[in-house]
Amino acid sequence: MENQSQIEKTTPIESTTPLQKLPNATTTLVLGICSIVGCCCYGVPGIICGIIALIISAKDEKLLKENPDGYSDAGNHKAGRICAWIGIGIFVATLLITIIFYIIYGVFLFSEYNTPYYY
């Protein structure tokens, strides 16, 4: 009778598979952070790192869609993609501001307001 009560109290061992790591999650995160930091260096390293991060993470995105709960570092993958998009956005904003600045500068440089003043 004692053996039977002890058996009833124990729970069966559940067979769970350990969570796998995404192959390129850390790489995506590092490149995404580098894309934000790289925007401080005239934007070119930032856009390169951001595009590479998005290309590398495309395979992992397919794996996550197949098995969303089967990977332990899905957060790193998502954070890397977000950082890559932020870096690309900063690059595009900087590029647009630079183009607008040079257009305005060119208009004033070659306009009639550029005539010398004679006193």
Say if CB 88 and CB 35 are below 8 A apart. Answer: yes
Crossing angle between the packed helical segments 25-38 and 44-66, to the nearest 10 degrees: 150
Q: Residue 112 and residue 119: Cα distance in Å, rounded? A: 17
What pLDDT, on a 0 to 100 scale, did the predictor assign at position 119? Answer: 59
**pLDDT for position 80:** 94
| Whole-number pLDDT of residue 34 | 95
Residues sharing a CB contact under 8 Å with residue 84, sequence separation 6 or more, in sequence order = 28, 31, 32, 35, 49, 50, 51, 53, 54, 57
pTM: 0.74
How far, in Å, CA of 50 to CA of 31, rounded?
A: 6
Tens digit of pLDDT at every position of the chain (119 positions): 555 555 555 555 544 667 888 888 999 999 999 999 998 887 889 999 999 999 999 988 888 888 888 888 888 999 999 999 999 999 999 999 999 999 988 887 777 666 666 65
Position 56 scores a pLDDT of: 93
Structural domain boundaries in the chain: 21-109
Round to whole Å and give the CA distance between 87 and 60.
Answer: 20
Structure tokens at 9: 């109290």
